Structure 1
Amino acid sequence: MKVVLQRVTEASVHVDSNEISKINNGLLLLWGVEKGDVVEDSIALSDKISKLRIFSDEDNKMNLSVLDIDGEILIVSQFTLNANIIKGNRPSFINSEDPGIANQLIQSAVNNFEKKGILTKTGEFGALMDVQLINEGPVTIILNSKGSNVS
């Protein structure tokens, strides 16, 4: 499971020119589910993300989490994070999980964030989306449940 996390002052998702989700001050998460990912991956990533101290405190140091600032989260499903470009010039997405399973795993992350009291919104799973954001910093972090940067 791969997540591209971006600290934002605002972010929104549009489908067919209609705004379907919008957040202020928080995190935009591009969330990719790979074959073999399980609920425990979603929980581990969402637990880690909710505690990451990447927002500035009064001394302008990254010392506050999305929970600390009462921030919001926007999760956008992103199967293209699993692109394999080793052979040829057209990406293969064979490593992406079946859409039904992927949607369930992303929803488990949404539920975990909401249990922690974080207002969490989503894009429209499987839709062609336009995502707009203002990346503050910019702060962008890549997380991988199979890597060493999440525990």
Structure 2
Amino acid sequence: MRAVVTRVRSASVTIHGVTHGKIGLGFLVLLGIGPEDTPELCARLAEKIVHVRVFPDEAGKMNRSIEQAGGAFLVVSQFTLYADLRKRRPGFSHAAGPELAQPLYEQFLEELRSRHFLVEHGEFGAEMQVESVNDGPVTLLFDMEKDTVSK
């Protein structure tokens, strides 16, 4: 499971010209799911993202979590995070198929909601336009295949 997480001042996702999700301060999460991913890994990723401290405190230091900052989430499924880039035309056979990926994507949304966050989202498998005003910019890559903490 991979996530590109950007601290944003605002972000939105549009599908067929209609705004489907929109947030102010918070995280834009591009979520990729691999064929070996599990519900347990999904829960652990959500926990890591919720607790990462990259929002500024009163002194301007990155010392607050998204909860402490009063932020929200915009989550967009992103199978291209598993692109095979060895050739000029990317291959996507390393991404999980929709039968595995969609339930884990929905579980990830629920993991965040269960922690009482506002969670906006795209539509799984849809062609979407994503806009964001990056803050910092602060962008983090969470790659659970390489995660060695708290296994």
TM-score class, shorter-chain normalisation, is: over 0.9
Preserved CA contact (<8 Å) 2:35 2:100: no
Preserved CA contact (<8 Å) 1:6 1:140: yes
Q: Which residue of 2 aligns with 1:24?
A: 24
Shift in Å, 1:121: 1.2
Q: List gaps (5 residues or longer) in structure 1.
A: none
Q: Classify the secondary structure of the residue corresponding to 2:142.
A: strand
Output one character per residue of 1:114-145: Cα deviation in whole Å (capped at 9) or x when no partner. Answer: 11111111101111000000000000000011
Q: Classify the secondary structure of the residue corresponding to 2:67.
A: coil
Q: List gaps (5 residues or longer) in structure 2.
A: none
Is 1:80 paired with 2:90? no
Preserved CA contact (<8 Å) 1:144 1:150: no
**What do you get for the CA RMSD once the two structures are aligned?**
1.1
- Please give the alpha-carbon distance, in whole angstroms, between the structure 2 residues aligned to 1:150 and 1:76: 25
Q: Which residue of 2 aligns with 1:54?
A: 54
Q: Classify the secondary structure of the residue corresponding to 2:96.
A: coil
Preserved CA contact (<8 Å) 1:48 1:150: no
Is 1:134 paired with 2:126? no
Shift in Å, 1:46: 0.3
Shift in Å, 1:13: 0.3
Output one character per residue of 1:7-33: Cα deviation in whole Å (capped at 9) or x when no partner. Answer: 000000001111110001000000000
* Residues matched between the structures, number: 150
Q: With structure 2 as the length reference, what TM-score do the two structures score? A: 0.96
- Please give the alpha-carbon distance, in whole angstroms, between the structure 2 residues aligned to 1:150 and 1:55: 22
Q: Which residue of 1 aligns with 2:121?
A: 122
Shift in Å, 1:149: 6.5
1:32-71 to 2 correspondences below 5 Å: 32-71=32-71
State the identity %: 37
